[in-house]
Amino acid sequence: MGGVRKKPTIATVAARAGVAVSTVSRYLNGRYVSRAVRARLSEIIEELGYSRSWTARNLSLGRRGSIGVAIDSSEDPWFVQLLKGIEEDLSTRDTSLMLCSTVVRKTYDPKIVYQWIQDHRVDGLIVARAQRRERPLFRAALKAQVPVIAVAPFEIIAGVNVLRSNNVGGGAMIADHLVNLGHRSIAFAGGPSHSIDSKHRLRGLREGLARRGITLAPKHIFSCESFEFDAGTVFAEQFLSRPLDVTAIVLANDALAFGFMRFALRRGIKMPEELSIVGFDGLVEGAFLYPALTTAAQPMQEMGRVACQRLLESHGVPGHVERIEFPMHLIVRESTARPSAEFAKVRPLTLVGSPTAGPMDDA
């Protein structure tokens, strides 16, 4: 009666190939071995059915074999695209993913992320859309020498690697697009007033219009309480309750635009004939609306891939801080068009109130 077959080890592979264990280790870790030895080891590993222990490899390299990713809500469509890029990069590595939503049942609670840092459970940390409240978290990661990357943070963060899009350039692209269509009276609705992305998008729009001889009037600049769909709906109700004195409105992200458009359709606003709509981010959902949304798209998946690469390949070199900016590109769809002759002049709506959304400063 035959016994249970022993699982081959790295020593078994080395003995069969007639090389040192260290040579097999170099081969498995992607380091240099001669072409002949590499071919022989590949053949023997397949023949023996050897499966390496990733745990042992990570221990030998001083790694945990996992990265942490933190975001307010993992349901955010913007984040879903970013996560796709992170997963694509991790699929080529022996590294797993730990995910944490820091806002659960409307309560901010980052204690799980702090535990990752304090217990050194992760080889690095990606924080998406970090706000001021994440400052202590970044300090804790830096103190523990856990590499950290902030993706599209709401503010400038000292000592931390940052990946973001060229929001100023995106705003300028939208300005050119709208002016080329014939729009001269344009409004902007940003996200929270402390968001760097909102400020830079407004700045790009304002500067792009100025280059074409058009001033973005202060009375046409607003900010919303958040970047979420519901905030766009609330803003639309406020904005459309006053005389409509613009032919186009730019919203600081697609989710706000989705909420705005939903309310505008219910109100009977003709888009784009009466009002052209533009968003930012390039969410795939924008293509499914009617009219489909014109948007300045961020390369979210590419940002996710690069965040992983920088996190796992920089080895957390002290004092080495990167600021990487990705170009945006304009996706022109049905929600923008030349203003029709009927609506090119001011066409007031019934005034039933006034917007409570505050003006936004792009400084």
The residues with which 96 forms a beta bridge, in sequence order, are 66
Query: Look-up: residue for tokens 């040579």?
Result: 23
232-287 residue pLDDT tens = 999 999 999 988 899 999 999 999 999 999 999 999 999 999 999 999 999 999 99
Give how many domains the chain has, as a whole number.
3
CA 315/CA 328 separation, integer angstroms: 29
Is the predicted pLDDT of residue 27 greater than 80, yes or no?
Answer: no
57 within some domain: no
93 within some domain: yes
* 118 and 236 fall within a common domain: no
Is the predicted pLDDT of residue 68 greater than 80, yes or no?
Answer: yes
Asked if residue 255 lies in contact with residue 283, where contact means CB atoms within 8 angstroms, the answer is yes
Q: Is the pTM of this model over 0.85?
A: no
Angle formed at CA 8 by CA 7 and CA 11, multiple of 5 degrees:
140
355 within some domain: no
Bin 170: left if φ > 0, else alpha if -120 < ψ < 50, else beta.
Answer: alpha
Q: What is the CATH number of the domain that holds 26?
A: 1.10.260.40
* 284 and 175 fall within a common domain: yes
* 26 and 100 fall within a common domain: no
In angstroms, what CA-CA distances link 69 with 84, 151, 156? 12, 10, 19
DSSP structural state of residue 166:
-
* 285 and 201 fall within a common domain: yes
* 199 and 337 fall within a common domain: yes
Kindly report which listed range (8-17, 33-42, 51-60, 174-183) carries the lowest average pLDDT score: 51-60
3 within some domain: no
26 within some domain: yes
75-111 residue pLDDT tens = 888 999 999 999 988 887 778 889 999 988 888 999 9
Residue ranges making up the domain that contains 24 = 10-52
* 92 and 150 fall within a common domain: yes
For residue 221, give both structure tokens. 């600049």
* 23 and 89 fall within a common domain: no
Residue 31 has a pLDDT of 67
* 100 and 248 fall within a common domain: no
CA 262/CA 282 separation, integer angstroms: 18
Is the predicted pLDDT of residue 132 greater than 60, yes or no?
Answer: yes
For residue 332, give both structure tokens. 């022109």
Is the predicted pLDDT of residue 61 greater than 50, yes or no?
Answer: no
Asked if residue 252 lies in contact with residue 268, where contact means CB atoms within 8 angstroms, the answer is no
Helix, coil or strand: residue 190: strand
Residue 76 has a pLDDT of 85
Q: How many CB atoms lie within 10 A of CB 75?
A: 9
Structure confidence at residue 59 as a pLDDT band (50, 70, 90): very low
Structure confidence at residue 13 as a pLDDT band (50, 70, 90): confident
Report which of 281, 322, 42, 351 is spatially closest to residue 163, judged by C-alpha positions. Answer: 322
Is the predicted pLDDT of residue 363 greater than 50, yes or no?
Answer: no
For residue 264, give both structure tokens. 């505008």
CA 188/CA 247 separation, integer angstroms: 12
Mean pLDDT of the residues in the chain: 85
* 281 and 246 fall within a common domain: yes
Q: What is the CATH number of the domain that holds 220?
A: 3.40.50.2300
* 289 and 222 fall within a common domain: yes
Residue 53 has a pLDDT of 53
Which ranges of the chain does DSSP label H, i.e. alpha helix? 10-17, 21-28, 35-48, 54-60, 77-90, 111-118, 135-143, 167-181, 196-211, 229-239, 254-267, 300-313, 341-344
* 121 and 239 fall within a common domain: no
* 195 and 223 fall within a common domain: yes
Angle formed at CA 192 by CA 295 and CA 264, multiple of 5 degrees:
50
Is the predicted pLDDT of residue 206 greater than 80, yes or no?
Answer: yes
